Structure 1
Amino acid sequence: MNSGLDHLPEGKRRELAHVVETVRTGFAEAISTRTQPRFRAGKLLKIVLFGSYARGDWVEDPVGRYFSDYDLLVVVNHDDLTDIAEFWEATENRLLADLSAGTVLRTPVSLIYHSLEDVNDKLRLGRYFFMDILKDGIVLFEEPGFHFVEPMPLSPEQALKETRDYFDDWFSSASNFKDLAANAQASGMPKEAAFLFHQAVERLYHCLFLTRTLWSPKSHNLNRLRDMAEELEPSLKDVWPRTGRFEKRCYALLRDAYVKARYSPSYRISADELTWIAGRVKELQILVKSTCEARIDDLAKAA
């Protein structure tokens, strides 16, 4: 693990210091009112910066409206403390408010939460995602005495088998949901079609993560999945244009469909909006298939 931020501008270092303080304060507040000893004894063990800001290849593109996130791994001392709604929602909302205000924070923040035991299990299983964090990550905060284990890389044959299995399962599932969405669209069921397209996109992103890293985030949040997928595979940035009003509205309708298309009477989506979404989902499907198959081909050559 690394520990220095000298490669970042001073403004970025100040932002990260604010993020770390916000995460620590938010966690302390979240467990302060708990009565169960298990939660009262909860500990925040590590905050690790990974991804483009750790590697030094972050992107800030005001014209294309694409900005890399701060990717942070938050490590706690048991799995129950990784529940976002219970322990982290207030912290994430605070960071979003800071980002909207644009004073102490101007860079989006993407947080993932794992217990130390879970991270170490993933390292023992040779999960590339966590092995890369161990290799490139920068420790922003840690309690002494809590260590990551040495990773145990998979053999080429094991890696190939697991990768193929994940791709076959998740790409097939995503394609099925895409077909169901098209059927619902053709049958005049726009809300159902929007929800099913959301599910197809979510599964395509999970397919990408699992094929490329043998791990995927535990999230239905399409913004988070999109941002992490585009960090992993930059060619996906072109799938969802961020400039036109119509395109942004369509993406927002897709993003919100996970809940609102099922439960909100006020949710409305037009035929034109659904048609545009269907075209972008097809493009995402093509790109995910291509990049996943390239990964499998590389592993097959090494096996």
Structure 2
Amino acid sequence: MRSGTDFLPDGKQRELAFVVDAIREGFDFAIARRTMPRLRGGKLLKIILFGSYARGDWVEDPVGRYFSDYDLLVVVDREELTDVPEFWAKTEERLLAELAGGTTLRTPVSIVYHSLDDVNEKLALGRYFFIDILRDGTALFEEPGHPFAEPRPLSPAEALKETQDYFDEWFESARDFEESARDAIGRGKSKLAAFLLHQASERYYHCLFLVRTLYSPKTHNLNQLRQLAEDIEPRLKQVWPRETKFERRCYELLREAYVKARYSRHYRISAEQLEWLSARVALLHQIVREACEARIATLAEAA
């Protein structure tokens, strides 16, 4: 794995330097007041850029309103420090505020958090997501003396079995939520339908991750799942068009549904918005199914 950002334009290098400083400062602040033995002396070990910016194929399309994120893997020295609300929420809020300001940061940032032991375990299990990061990623920050384990590639037969098992479990689960959402729409249960469509979308994304990489990020953040999924399967960019105010509002209602459709009395979504979202989730279903079946067919041929 290389280090540094010399291969990126100067503006991107400055942005990433700011992001790294913000992550380190936010972690130092979050850990400084901790006195519990299991947290005392906790360390931030690595910040690694992966995905489209590491590969050099990022997209900036103001007309189509599509911008690739900076995808970052943050590695800490113990699992407890991966708790986002506890240790990372303020940093993510700061980055969102800077993005909204549009001066210091103009590129969205998507971060996944793992302990070193967890990453090394997944490398030993042959998880493609982490193997690809080691191959294509670039280190933005590293504490010396904390190497990654040597990855163990899976045999074709092992990869096929794990992939098929994930597809059978997660695609069926996603489809069940999608069908339940359509039933809720028919019964006029709009808030329930919105929540179920969110769950279907989330599970389709997780299904794709697991089939393509044997890994899926531990998050309910639909924006993060969407960005990471579109990075590994570009056809998914067509699922959520953002040309009109109506389209953008519908997606925002879906994103909010995980919490607000269940707990907020003020959450409202119209029948027209639900029908549009249902059609987009059906397209997500179709593309994920095609991508997963193609991956399984490739593995079956290799096995």
SS in 2 for 1:37: coil
Gaps of 5+ in 2: none
TM-score by length of 1: 0.99
SS in 2 for 1:141: strand
Q: Give secondary structure in 1 for the equivalent of 2:103.
A: coil
What displacement does 1:39 show?
1.4
Counterpart amino acid of residue 200 in structure 1: A
**Alpha-carbon displacement from aligned partner over 1:101-126 (angstroms, at most 9, x marks no partner):** 11111110000000000000000000
Residue 5 of structure 1: how far off its partner (Å)? 1.8
1:135 aligns with 2:106: no
The equivalences for 1:215-230 within 5 A come to 215-230=215-230
Structure 2 residue 275 is the aligned partner of structure 1 residue 275? yes
Q: CA deviation at 1:6?
A: 2.1
1:51 aligns with 2:51: yes
- Taking the aligned partners of 1:13 and 1:287, their CA distance within structure 2 comes to 34
**Equivalent-residue separation in structure 2 for 1:214 and 1:245 (angstroms):** 36
- Amino acid in structure 2 at the alignment position of 1:219: T
Q: TM-score, normalised by structure 2?
A: 0.99
Residue in structure 1 matched with residue 72 of structure 2 by the alignment: 72
The structural deviation recorded for 1:142 is 0.6
Alignment RMSD: 0.6
Report how far residue 229 of structure 1 moved. 0.6
Corresponding residue number in structure 1 for 2:213: 213
Deviation at 1:7, TM superposition (A): 1.6
The question of 1:89 aligning with 2:85 is answered no
Q: Which residue does the alignment assign to 2:187?
A: 187
CA distance in 2, matches of 1:202, 1:148: 30
SS of 2:188's partner is: coil
Hey, what's the Cα distance between the residues in 1 that align with 2:58 and 2:248? 23
The CA deviation at 1:40 is: 2.2
The amino acid of 1:23's aligned partner reads I
* Alignment partner of 1:252 is 2:265: no
Q: Bigger CA drift: 119-128 or 100-109?
A: 100-109
Q: How far off its partner does 1:35 sit?
A: 1.6
In structure 2, distance between residues paired with 1:94 and 1:232: 27
Q: What is the aligned partner in structure 2 of residue 202 from structure 1?
A: 202
Q: Which residue of 2 aligns with 1:106?
A: 106
Amino acid at match of 1:255: R
Q: How many residues align?
A: 303
Percent identity for Structure 1 against Structure 2: 67
Aligned to 1:27: 27
1:228-255, Cα deviation, whole Å (9 max, x unpaired): 1111111000100112111111111111
Residue identity matched to 1:291: A
Q: Where does residue 298 of structure 1 map in the other structure?
A: 298
Tell which deviates more after alignment, 32-41 or 176-185: 32-41
* Partner Cα distance (1:158, 1:56) in 2: 31
2:204 counterpart letter in structure 1: L
| 1:34 Cα deviation after fit | 1.2
Stretches of structure 1 that go unaligned for 5 or more consecutive residues are none
Determine the C-alpha separation between the residues in 2 that align with 1:251 and 1:139: 33
In structure 2, distance between residues paired with 1:109 and 1:198: 22
Runs of 4 or more consecutive aligned structure 1 residues displaced over 4 Å after TM superposition: none
Query: Equivalents in 2 of 1:294, 1:137: separation in Å?
Result: 26
